[in-house]
Amino acid sequence: VTVTVEVPAARPTIRTPDGDVGGAEALAEQLFTASSRYEEFGDEAASLRQLSDGWWGDAFEAYRRASASARDEHDALARTLERVARAATSYAETLRRLKAEADDLVDRRTRLDHLRQELLDDIASAAAPAADALAHLRDRAASLDADYRALVTDHDDLQRRTRANEDALRQAFQAGSKLRDALSASGGTGDTARNAMAEPGAPGHGATPAQVHAWWAGLSDAERAAVLASCPEVLGAADGLPAGVRDEANRILLDDDLATLGAKEEDGTLGDDEKKYLANARNAQQALEAATSYVDPLTGAKPGGQLWLYDPRAFDGDGRVAVSVGDLDTADDVAVFTPGINTDMADTASYARKMTNLYESARYNGDGSAVATMFWLGYDAPDGPTDTATLTEGRAEDGGRQLADAIDGLRASRPDDPAHLTAIGHSYGSTTTSYAVKEHRLDVDDVALIGSPGAGPADDAASFGIGRDHVYVGRDSRDLVATLGDEGWVGKGGLGLGQDPSSEDFGATRFEAESLDRSWHRNTGDAHGSYLDPDSESLYNLGLIVDGHGDRVNVAAQSHDPWYGPPEDPEWDRDPTRGVPGRSDTGL
Amino acid sequence: MSLMYVERDALLAASGRWTDLETLMNGTASLLRASNTAGLAPGIRAAGDAFLQTWVTYAAESAAIASGFADALRASASAYTAADESAAVRLNTLDGRLGPEQ
């Protein structure tokens, strides 16, 4: 009797995408440099129009008209060249990812081929297999066939996206070549991108985050590659898009700034404002490096970093930026950290490192869930104690609106897989966070306010609308800023920015947050700035909250204000800990 | 024209700056000429090469434009100077006094 086991054919032949990432990046950088030269031409032509101190008359007017044309045309050419350079950057970044995916497919093919050979060997050695052994062989063959089919599907998908990536750059080249196109406001933007950006739900025209999400989901691979290459400035800030897409777009913008402003720096034509933009860009780059090089202590893997928001020119050069440690698209637990006064884009790298501390604490003492922690500077934080904006809640109110939009964007980006989301606000950022939660019904699961000068519009934790037991407060007893908020029936005459959230009156869960290095007196230095220090009580408890286990924080007694005297902080006399398991041990 | 005023040095200084722009754009043309598309997939190299070639000509044209401005300003400065000198010669010949020419 002959029995048959159909062994699937080994397939497919994996085709690694053509092209060299380094070579493509080099071309992009040269195009950025050329773009910056055109920009310099436009700037200088504009400056050279201003000869009126030394020249009047008809000839001068004729010269002014001609130089205005030169300025306008070279500005337009600079923008077109910049768009094409961005498309080349997008091509290089995507090519890098596609090649890595191809390598993975090759590995999968090798593993399947190995299993196939084992199956062939077992069939050859089984001269007259029993019925159950035969069934087992056939099961293995069927399973192998399914795996090969899946590999073919993934390989086809890779090839499709490879073609889309190449088409996007080809279109950019073609749309930026003819003089009429190169001088137009959309030079370098191909038809595919233009048409996709005109579809309903496209970002930049008032679409809601949910509409933007649906728009992206409905785009073809070719359209996605085209809009990413052509409109990164729109996609990078589009609420509702997957974080991975925003990250890709913002990295293109970052590469653009590093190359074009760097070229102007080399030419000695960098203006004062541009110097600040370049410093901001370099800081964002350092932050990304800190995030992407970080290694998860539990897995030894790198969770990666994402540039979720990037605009080094915003707020008169203070900049807008958000950097995450971990994948915002897939993490089970996501934390959004809002900083306080005196924070601008120059602090991004420092805060990215603090986000690695928070990530590590959440993972180290957590339940094994995937985590992402994001530093979010999407509002114009006051410049410092001497900035009059510090004394009022205006920036916090505006920032609360921005934060609510950001959270809406995050939520809309993964509607079918919502993360456990925690908003953490530090210092003035805690007031900003309070505005977002109270006034805009911030869609978060937990809120943590640390070093807070006051909870802005909220007098009571319950008014946040997420449940009193989901509102947490950390205050070092020596933190002077965190004692400014009102408490008791007398209050503090508007010294702070609303109710002290660590007080009995507010009714939140206060967690231990004393620093071992605390001073004997209250101050605005270390006591206010050490809430995210490794092996601190504060970081330990914040990690638990981020991981979704706020019910396990080490609770501290709330501050209270007896009628017969000044407010009393029960934590003042408690001995702090550092690195103690179950209290302040936050990582390896 | 009811008003006219010119500082010759201002024109010459501006001409010098336009010359600098000519140099800048000649350098840009060289940069683009030296760029290559070898890092791209074969299927898009032709489009990339055509793009670079076109932009080399644009950069060269920009250099020529800058050169044109520099030349025009220099020529204007010379023309103003010449006109002034010519006028001065003629005006120097004027005799505004009564009586026989001296």
**Exposed, middle or buried by CB within 10 Å (0-12, 13-18, 19+), for A179?**
middle
How crowded is the C-beta side of A215, counted as CA atoms within 13 Å? 25
A222: left (phi over 0), alpha (psi -120 to 50) or beta: alpha
- Residue A54 binned pLDDT confidence (cut-offs 50, 70, 90): confident
Asked if A41 and B32 come within 8 Å (Cβ–Cβ), the reply is no
Put simply, whether B76 touches A (Cβ < 8 Å) is yes
B 53-72 near A (Cβ less than 8 A): 54-55, 58-59, 62, 65-66, 69, 72
Alpha carbons A235 and A249: distance in angstroms, whole number: 6
Alpha carbons A231 and A250: distance in angstroms, whole number: 10
B6 chain-A contacts, CB cut-off 8 A: 54-57, 60
- SS3 assignment for A48-65: HCCCCCCEECHHHHHHHH
Kind of pairing, strands A55-56 and A305-311?
unpaired
Kind of pairing, strands A371-377 and A55-56?
unpaired
Dump pLDDT digits (tens) for A215-242.
Answer: 999 999 999 999 999 999 999 999 999 9
- Residue A381 binned pLDDT confidence (cut-offs 50, 70, 90): confident
Contact A379, A326 (CB under 8 A): no
Handedness of CA A441, A444, A445, A446 (dihedral sign): negative
Which H helix or E strand runs over A398? helix A394-413
The number of C-beta contacts closer than 8 angstroms across A and B is 131
Dump pLDDT digits (tens) for A319-348.
Answer: 999 999 999 999 999 999 999 888 999 999
> So what's the pLDDT on residue A2?
78
Alpha carbons A398 and A394: distance in angstroms, whole number: 6
User: Can you tell me whether residue A37 is helix, strand or coil?
Assistant: helix
Which residues sit opposite A320 in a β-bridge? A311
> Model-level pTM greater than 0.90?
no
Virtual torsion, Cα A216, A219, A222, A227, nearest 10 deg:
-40
- Residue B102 binned pLDDT confidence (cut-offs 50, 70, 90): low
Dump pLDDT digits (tens) for A428-471.
Answer: 999 999 999 999 999 999 999 999 998 888 889 999 999 999 99
Residue type (1 letter), B65: I
B 3-62 near A (Cβ less than 8 A): 3-7, 9-11, 14, 17-18, 20-21, 24-25, 27-28, 31-32, 34-44, 47-48, 50-51, 54-55, 58-59, 62
Pick the residue from chain A with its C-alpha nearest to B33.
Answer: A30
Q: How far is CA A391 from CA A380, A396, A496, A522, in A?
A: 14, 11, 8, 20
Contact A12, A151 (CB under 8 A): yes
Put simply, whether B82 touches A (Cβ < 8 Å) is no
Asked if A37 and B25 come within 8 Å (Cβ–Cβ), the reply is yes
Taking residues B30-38, report their average pLDDT: 96
Interface test with A, best of B23, B26, B51 (most A CBs within 10 A): B51
Which residues sit opposite A147 in a β-bridge? none
Q: What percent of chain A has pLDDT over 90?
A: 78
For A485-489, the CB contacts below 8 A with 24+ separation are A485/A452, A485/A453, A485/A454, A485/A455, A486/A454, A487/A559, A487/A560, A487/A561, A487/A567, A488/A560, A488/A561, A488/A562, A488/A563, A488/A567, A489/A561, A489/A563
A102 contacts: CB under 8 Å, gap ≥ 6: A14, A15, A16, A17, A158
Interface test with A, best of B25, B40, B67, B74 (most A CBs within 10 A): B40
User: Can you tell me whether residue A41 is helix, strand or coil?
Assistant: helix
Ordered DSSP codes for A130-192: -HHHHHHHHHHHHHHHHHHHHHHHHHHHHHHHHHHHHHHHHHHHHHTTSHHHHTSTTTT--HH
Nearest to A229 by CA among A152, A155, A159, A172: A172
A434 contacts: CB under 8 Å, gap ≥ 6: A396, A400, A425, A449, A452, A454, A455, A456, A457, A458, A464, A498, A501
**Residue ranges with strand state E in A300-426:** 305-311, 320-325, 333-338, 371-377, 420-426
Please tell me the distance in Å from A170's CA to the nearest CA on chain B. 6
Q: How far is CA A510 from CA A279, A436, A462, in A?
A: 38, 20, 14
Q: How far is CA B29 from CA B16, B19, B46, B62, in A?
A: 20, 15, 19, 9
Which H helix or E strand runs over A446? strand A446-450
> So what's the pLDDT on residue B1?
53
Q: Which residue has the higher pLDDT, B24 or A127?
A: B24
Alpha carbons A186 and A165: distance in angstroms, whole number: 20
Contact A485, A497 (CB under 8 A): yes
Q: What percent of chain B has pLDDT over 90?
A: 78
Asked if A55 and B54 come within 8 Å (Cβ–Cβ), the reply is no
Alpha carbons A39 and A76: distance in angstroms, whole number: 9
B34 chain-A contacts, CB cut-off 8 A: 30
Question: In the block, which residue shows the tokens 């000839």?
Answer: A59
Taking residues A395-399, report their average pLDDT: 88
B63 contacts: CB under 8 Å, gap ≥ 6: B21, B22, B23, B25, B26, B28, B29
Encoded tokens for B90: 């003629």
Q: Which residue has the higher pLDDT, B4 or A147?
A: A147
The ipTM, to two decimals, is 0.91
- Residue A488 binned pLDDT confidence (cut-offs 50, 70, 90): low
Dump pLDDT digits (tens) for A273-296.
Answer: 999 999 999 999 999 999 999 999
Dump pLDDT digits (tens) for A490-548.
Answer: 555 666 688 899 888 899 999 999 988 777 777 677 778 899 999 999 999 999 999 99
Backbone angles phi, psi at A380, to 5 degrees: -90, 90
Contact A325, A351 (CB under 8 A): no
| A360: pLDDT strictly greater than 80 | yes
Q: Cis ω on the peptide bond leading into residue A385 (within 30° of 0)?
A: no
